Structure 1
């Protein structure tokens, strides 16, 4: 094989020593540029694919984190999550508050509560709800802090007391109106 190569070079020595034909270097350079450009596009394409895959993985991880943290946030922290005894106390207060609010709704349905009183009660309940949300955030941050637990218990007591006081006063007014109507007839 060596001999054949050497023989071909000797026979074409004259042609090999001549200058390259016109435009040869330009064509050669264009081919090199084309190959380099193709390699750059190829490298960019790989980098873009890798970047897209990384972004996809990050977005997927973020979505999973949001999904699982949303489930935790849906269930607010309550006193029952601290201890069973506090859960029983909380249940007592919440059920008493619910019963009082049912009485309130009955008084509204019977027509004993004016629009102004209804708005006042709605305003009070919004303030209580905001306070409860703040206390729940504090309880979630510090579930073993006795001050937060006592604040939650005082909150429930205050809310029940306010609702009960208002309803009792309205019942007295209702009773007074009924007795006044009976004496006038």
Structure 2
């Protein structure tokens, strides 16, 4: 059988070698592909690219707005979950800390001698604060965490007071400089 098959192929070899399409067919096919090279979507985008860009920007803005609104609602719910006495303490201590930070920030940076890491640690919401806040959210009734939060605020105020004392001893405060110059004039 294999010899018979091979002899059949040998005898009809010319029949199996069919020539491909003529060059005229290939040329026509290439012209057709070049004409319809751009799809409808691409042609529409070429004409209306500005409209598409505006729509894309609007969609991104809508997504960002949705995310921020949802995040703000979650934060408000978390704050509402805290007891009223912790909210009151947080407001009181935060305002005092911010007042002291404003006084410290009134000094020129070169006179403070604090690098960016030290300045970040002076802010109210540093890593320690965030860790305590997470723990308080996870265990809102835990008195030890509440006491630690209040102690954190007190230590932060004490630290800022010491920094202000050293600045007053070393340098004349910006307000005093202004008063001194007004007195001289």
What TM-score bracket applies, with the shorter chain setting the length?
A: 0.3 to 0.5
Higher helix share: 1
Larger radius of gyration: 1
